[in-house]
Amino acid sequence: MIAVTLAPGKEKRVNAGHPWIYRSEIARIEGDPPPGALAVVSDHRGKLLGQAMVNLRSQIAARLLSRTEETIDGAFIERRIREALARAARSATGPGACRLVFGEGDRMPGLIADRYGDLVVIQILTAGMERLRDEVVGALRRVVGPRAIYERSDVSARKLEGLELRRGFAWGTADTGVWIKEGDVAFFVEVAAGQKTGFFLDQRENRQAVKRLARDRTVLDCFCYSGGFSVSAGAGGAASILGVDISPEALSWAERSAAENGLAGRCKFVAANAFDYLRALDREGRRFGMIILDPPAFTKGREALAGALRGYNEINLRAMRLLDRGGILVTCSCSYHVDAAVFLDMLRSAGADAHREFRLLELRTQAADHPILLAAKETQYLKCAILEAVN
Ligand code: SAH
């Protein structure tokens, strides 16, 4: 067995409930662990902290899987997946689509599993979870009983772990285009070609907020992807919806969903760069009653924070200028490194530059089926501020 001993004092965060151990916090390693190997982790006095998946190639050199000496095998993985499913059943709003396993938030570092109807989509992000892949697929088959399991392990984060990218069916086959329902709204999801695992499940509760606030408004949905917010606004009674995204393929899915919900006449989707498009709308003197901004993460690291904030500032400033009096701005950031305080400061400065006054109606986060580990702030990444233009 591989044994990892932490340097003095470095057990504090782990004892507080955080699952990560950085390379610099390790004093000693007995054995030569291949990437992803399981190791027993102790503090410098030899007290057991738990069992972790070790990968010395990564900055996060170990991720705690268990805080006891229990055997890590197929039965262990199945227990963890059953716990995650019970958690998902408590936090999701009904059958259909939901996140079943949210990595660290479900004590399964490196594993994402989503359910879209009778299809399960998994994403394996670390070398440790990669070694447990067969157990994960087997347990999901037994516990969830899906028609098929599709794998979207094609994210660049895997390269940091020394892993190849992989995409395809992990078990069974099915159509990769599926229809899901959120309440009375239908969405088309393409799990093989779409972003992430196909749909932004993390925005589910924020879509509900948009639906609630959209009545009779003219809506602009920037970075609309497959139309999650656009179609929700339409279902909530918006007068018209203009969705903008750079991906024509994503817009074709948005059009399908709009049509399925009888909203084709009120929704228009445009393939464009949202930065340029916002500028052009301002030049034309267009105004909207609701604007949604949900850009991709402008930064994956701390280094690029300043540039990311300039990007957020630019689109928010432009959107603020385009709002009618009483208009609503729904503005999101999924960059973990831009925390809620920094995000609000950016909005304050954009509001000042726009010479508009705003009321913060709601400060929201990711859907409840993306559970936040209290001790690990990295598990909270999504911010969604809902502002009302007072003047
Ligand atoms: N709001 C969506 C998710 C947005 S994800 C939802 O709730 O489902 C970010 C989207 O931004 C992606 O669809 C991507 O194609 C798009 N995108 C990235 N850069 C862009 C740009 N410069 N202009 C417009 N869209 C862009």
Indicate left, alpha or beta for 39 from its phi (over 0: left) and psi (-120 to 50: alpha): beta
Kindly give the distance from the C-alpha atom of residue 65 to the centroid of ligand 1, in angstroms, as a whole number. 34
Kindly give the distance from the C-alpha atom of residue 120 to the centroid of ligand 1, in angstroms, as a whole number. 24
Q: Which atom of ligand 1 is nearest to the CA of 206?
A: 7
Domain boundaries, the chain: 2-66, 74-177, 200-389
Residue 95 has pLDDT above 70, yes or no: no
Q: Ligand 1 site: residues with CB under 6 angstroms?
A: 195, 200, 203, 223-226, 228-229, 244-247, 250, 273-275, 294-296
Spatial neighbors of 45 by CB under 8 A, at least 6 apart, are: none
Q: Nearest Cα to 337, choosing from 298, 302, 372, 310? A: 302
**Over the stretch 283-295, which tens digit does the pLDDT of each residue have?**
999 999 999 999 9
Spatial neighbors of 187 by CB under 8 A, at least 6 apart, are: 97, 179, 180, 181, 199, 226, 227, 228, 231, 257
Distances (CA, A) of 342 to 62, 105, 181, 305: 29, 23, 34, 10
Q: Which fold has domain 200-389?
A: Rossmann fold (3.40.50)
Q: Which fold has domain 74-177?
A: Transcription Regulator spoIIAA (3.30.750)
CATH 1.10.3720.10 fits 2-66, yes or no: no
Protein residue with its CA nearest to atom 19 in ligand 1: 246
Q: Which amino acid is at 369?
A: D
**Over the stretch 306-363, which tens digit does the pLDDT of each residue have?**
999 999 999 999 999 999 999 999 999 999 899 999 999 999 999 999 999 999 999 9
Number of H helices, E strands in the chain: 11, 20
Mean pLDDT across the chain = 96
Residue 300 has pLDDT above 80, yes or no: no
Kindly give the distance from the C-alpha atom of residue 296 to the centroid of ligand 1, in angstroms, as a whole number. 6
Give the separation between CA 306 and CA 295, rounded to whole angstroms. Answer: 16
Spatial neighbors of 67 by CB under 8 A, at least 6 apart, are: 49, 50
Q: Report the catalytic residues.
A: 334
- Report the 10 Å Cβ neighbour count for 342: 17
Q: Which atom of ligand 1 is nearest to the CA of 227?
A: 8
Q: Are 243 and 233 in contact (CB under 8 A)?
A: no
Kindly give the distance from the C-alpha atom of residue 195 to the centroid of ligand 1, in angstroms, as a whole number. 9
Q: Which atom of ligand 1 is nearest to the CA of 226?
A: 8
The structure's pTM equals: 0.96
Q: Which amino acid is at 238?
A: A
